């Protein structure tokens, strides 16, 4: 006997019978019932149709609406070439018949028939093209088999397909009393058992190829999800586009963090380092599960980052460039920390930062790679020796001597030399969060510039950084300059309003080659529709989407997408509280058993 996962036991005889069955027996349905109008194969009802007529002209991509229909069906097209010599004899006879009908009508004094005139012109033109080998003729047979769970669904699908085809003057009929032959014709056997064909020349035949579909399937990249229109796979490589950035908009609970964590897992398999700024501590378990590094940035944390750290200049950079860039970024940081600066205070801060570096013998002409950088307390000491700084010193005190001193006035003890690194700022006070995210992002940017590697930086809940022009401006500069350093920026937000109010909101979007819009709330939909030039159908699709469903943009293409994870991936990345509690209980029970 064999254990079947708690189900009914399987006998050895049953196992032997399964092992000796032919392949056809294993894949065959449980039963097949054939009726004059349809077939029942297993639990599906099947009906086949053939095309009986086409219009005078077939436009390009006329099959696109059918192929992208969200229904289950198969299409088979049989194309057989016709010998031109034999066909020309037939054409000569046909032209003679049409001309004879025209002459008879003229002799009887009847009004000219436009249809006969048009038929003669078409036949003569086609004959000339065949004679000059500019066209060839083919016998075309096109068949469609649709599947449904019941008669009602079958009728709806049939009506929808008929309506789409008849709007293009293409008519179909069911294979009455020939359902078995129809099914075998559409099956991938290469045998046309119905032989219901129409003669078409090269031009209309070519309108069927290639089958145009809203596909985003490339040879390389990661699986983002499944195309909701035709169930094809959405596979894309962000590093194959003009920039490597992406942006995700979704309402709370729509699955944006889930989709991001799924992308992270799959991206890590392609030799890409991933760094996450996590405001809600959603990536801690993921970091633990895949052996990453997790840093909790808070007032009581043991992890510190010194904003006065200087990156080692690259070969194409000078020490003066690095120092100047860091001073500018520090002025932006103090503008956030001190609640804004006047023009005079801005100038004072700039001069004080330069003098603070000089205190440690760091200047544009020095080699500062081996010099220990100053701390915020050093900056405070320099500032206290300058005139007109009383207000600045009063506001700075809480960062150097107050309750917030442990956060920022310490040497850096953070190492991000890992494939996956997470910085969590959830436990940081809300007043300090923008400054904390700015410091962390600046630290990451210096590390990125230090060594050229394929990296992805994920900034979750980016609306925190969009609150201040300085943090938003720095995020935008990373979006613009990241490509030079092989860095892709993934920006995620649920607060579309705050993001779009910033003068850097739209520029960040336009500098993101990949955009993912998941389920949206009605209050933000109009802004998104205008920003992304969405049609009304796409607008309602986003409003009515379920969790993990939306629209995926990559370059000039976009498709409706559904995010799908395997069971193992889901257990690692889920944020569903009920699943998280179950996983925690399972871990506790496992630990107790081992103990």
Is there a common fold for 216-290+420-564 and 306-411? no
**Which of 92-106, 153-167, 188-202 is predicted with the least confidence, judged by mean pLDDT?**
92-106
pLDDT at residue 4 tops 50: no
**What CA–CA distance (Å, rounded) separates 272 from 266?**
10
pLDDT at residue 106 tops 50: yes
**Which of 42-51, 341-350, 363-372 is predicted with the least confidence, judged by mean pLDDT?**
363-372
pLDDT at 420: 93
pLDDT at 21: 63
Over range 135-153, report the average pLDDT.
Answer: 90
Q: Which fold has domain 306-411?
A: Helicase, Ruva Protein; domain 3 (1.10.8)
pLDDT at 15: 54
For 541, phi and psi rounded to 5 degrees? -60, -40
Over range 323-346, report the average pLDDT.
Answer: 88
Backbone CA torsion sign across 126, 131, 135, 138: positive
**What CA–CA distance (Å, rounded) separates 211 from 65?**
11
Between 312 and 382, the higher pLDDT residue: 382
Q: Where are the beta strands (DSSP E) in 370-485?
A: 420-424, 455-459
pLDDT at 387: 86
**Which of 211-225, 330-344, 383-397, 445-459 is predicted with the least confidence, judged by mean pLDDT?**
211-225
- What is the tens place of the pLDDT at every residue in 580-591? 667 667 667 766
pLDDT at 186: 93
pLDDT at 7: 45
Exposed/middle/buried for 593, CB within 10 Å: 0-12, 13-18, 19+?
exposed
Nearest residue to 337 via CA among 382, 404, 390, 413: 404
User: Mean pLDDT across the chain, nearest whole number?
Assistant: 83
**Which of 119-133, 245-259, 446-460, 462-476 is predicted with the least confidence, judged by mean pLDDT?**
119-133
Q: What is the DSSP string of 259-321?
A: HHHHHHHHHHTTT-EEEEEESSS-SHHHHHHTT-EEEE-STT-S----TT--PPPPTT--HHH
Nearest residue to 561 via CA among 573, 553, 569: 553
Per-residue 3-state assignment (H helix, E strand, C coil) for 35-82: CCCCEEECCEEEEEEEEEECCCCCCCCCCHHHHCCCCCEEEEEEEEEC
Strand, coil or helix: 198: strand
pLDDT at 265: 93
Nearest residue to 306 via CA among 207, 184, 439, 213: 439
pLDDT at residue 140 tops 50: yes
pLDDT at 5: 43
The percent of residues above 90 in pLDDT, for the chain, comes to 23
pLDDT band at residue 3, thresholds of 50, 70 and 90?
very low
pLDDT at 530: 85
pLDDT at 142: 93
pLDDT at residue 144 tops 60: yes
pLDDT at residue 136 tops 90: no
CB-based contacts of 17, cutoff 8 Å, min separation 6: none
- What is the tens place of the pLDDT at every residue in 506-562? 899 889 989 999 988 888 888 888 888 888 888 888 888 888 899 998 877 788 899
For 271, phi and psi rounded to 5 degrees? 55, 45
Between 215 and 478, the higher pLDDT residue: 478
pTM for this entry? 0.64
- Which two structure tokens, joined as six digits, stand for 548? 């993990």
Strand partners, 276: 422, 458
pLDDT at 216: 64
pLDDT at 174: 94
**What CA–CA distance (Å, rounded) separates 166 from 54?**
10
- What is the tens place of the pLDDT at every residue in 158-178? 999 999 899 888 999 999 999
pLDDT band at residue 48, thresholds of 50, 70 and 90?
very high
pLDDT at residue 6 tops 50: no
**Cis upstream peptide for 28 (omega within 30°):** no
Cβ atoms of 66 and 170 within 8 Å: the answer is: no
pLDDT at residue 490 tops 90: yes
**Which of 94-103, 195-204, 537-546, 550-559 is predicted with the least confidence, judged by mean pLDDT?**
94-103
What residue ranges do the domains of the chain occupy? Answer: 216-290+420-564, 306-411
Cβ atoms of 558 and 568 within 8 Å: the answer is: no
Between 65 and 222, the higher pLDDT residue: 222
- Which two structure tokens, joined as six digits, stand for 567? 């069971």
Query: Domain 216-290+420-564 carries which CATH code?
Result: 3.40.50.300
pLDDT at 540: 87
Strand, coil or helix: 7: coil
pLDDT at 141: 92
Cβ atoms of 472 and 504 within 8 Å: the answer is: yes
- What is the tens place of the pLDDT at every residue in 267-311? 998 889 999 998 888 898 888 888 899 988 888 888 888 889 888
**What CA–CA distance (Å, rounded) separates 212 from 226?**
17
Cβ atoms of 146 and 157 within 8 Å: the answer is: yes
């Amino acid at each position: 006997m064999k254990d079947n996962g708690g189900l009914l036991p399987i006998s050895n005889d049953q196992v032997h019978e399964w092992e000796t069955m032919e392949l056809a027996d294993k894949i065959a349905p449980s039963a097949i019932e054939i009726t004059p109008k349809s077939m029942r194969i297993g639990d599906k009802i099947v009906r086949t149709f053939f095309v009986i007529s086409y219009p005078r002209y077939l436009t390009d991509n006329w099959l696109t609406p059918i192929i992208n229909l969200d229904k289950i069906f198969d299409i088979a097209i049989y194309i057989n070439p016709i010998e031109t010599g034999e066909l020309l004899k037939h054409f000569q006879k046909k032209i003679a018949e049409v001309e004879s009908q025209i002459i008879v009508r003229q002799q009887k004094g009847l009004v000219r028939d436009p249809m006969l005139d048009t038929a003669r012109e078409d036949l003569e033109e086609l004959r000339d093209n065949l004679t000059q080998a500019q066209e060839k003729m083919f016998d075309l047979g096109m068949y469609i088999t649709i599947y449904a769970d019941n008669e009602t669904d079958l009728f709806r699908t049939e009506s929808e397909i008929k309506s789409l085809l008849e709007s293009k003057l293409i008519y179909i009929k069911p294979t009455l009393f020939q359902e078995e032959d129809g099914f075998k014709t559409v099956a991938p056997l290469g045998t046309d058992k119905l032989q219901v064909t129409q003669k078409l020349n090269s031009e209309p035949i070519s309108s069927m190829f290639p089958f145009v579909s809203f596909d985003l399937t490339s040879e390389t990249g990661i699986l983002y999800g499944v195309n909701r229109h035709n169930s094809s796979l959405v596979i894309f490589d962000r590093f194959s586009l003009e920039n490597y950035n992406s942006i995700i908009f979704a309402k709370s609970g729509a699955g944006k963090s889930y989709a991001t964590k799924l992308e992270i897992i799959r991206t890590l398999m392609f030799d890409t380092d991933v760094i996450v700024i996590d405001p809600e501590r959603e990536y801690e378990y993921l970091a633990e599960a895949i052996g990453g590094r997790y840093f909790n940035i808070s007032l009581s944390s043991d992890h510190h980052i010194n904003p006065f750290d200087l990156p080692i200049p690259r070969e194409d950079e000078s020490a003066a460039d690095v120092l100047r860039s860091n001073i500018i970024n520090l002025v932006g940081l103090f503008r956030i920390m001190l609640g804004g600066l006047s023009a005079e205070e801005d100038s004072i801060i700039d001069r004080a930062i330069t003098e603070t570096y000089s205190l440690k013998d760091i200047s544009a002409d020095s080699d500062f790679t081996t010099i220990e950088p100053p701390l915020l307390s050093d900056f405070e000491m320099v500032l206290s020796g300058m005139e007109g700084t009383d207000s600045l010193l009063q506001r700075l005190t809480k960062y150097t001597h107050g309750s917030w001193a442990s956060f920022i006035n310490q040497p850096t003890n953070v190492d991000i030399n890992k494939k996956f690194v997470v910085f969590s700022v959830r436990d940081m006070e809300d007043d300090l969060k923008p400054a904390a995210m700015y410091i962390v992002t600046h630290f990451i940017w210096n590390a990125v510039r230090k060594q050229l590697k394929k990296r992805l930086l994920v900034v979750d809940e980016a609306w925190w950084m969009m609150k201040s022009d300085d943090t938003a401006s720095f995020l935008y500069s990373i979006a613009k300059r990241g490509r030079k350093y092989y860095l892709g920026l993934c920006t995620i937000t649920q607060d579309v309003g705050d993001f779009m109010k910033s003068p850097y909101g739209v520029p960040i979007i336009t500098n993101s080659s990949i955009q993912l819009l998941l389920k949206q709330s009605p209050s933000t939909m109009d802004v998104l529709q205008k920003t992304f030039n969405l049609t009304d159908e796409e607008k309602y699709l986003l409003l009515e989407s379920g969790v993990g469903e939306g629209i995926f943009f990559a370059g000039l293409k976009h498709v409706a997408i559904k995010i799908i994870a395997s069971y193992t991936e889901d257990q690692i990345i889920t944020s569903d509280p009920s699943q998280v509690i179950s996983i925690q209980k399972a871990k506790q029970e496992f630990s107790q058993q081992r103990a």
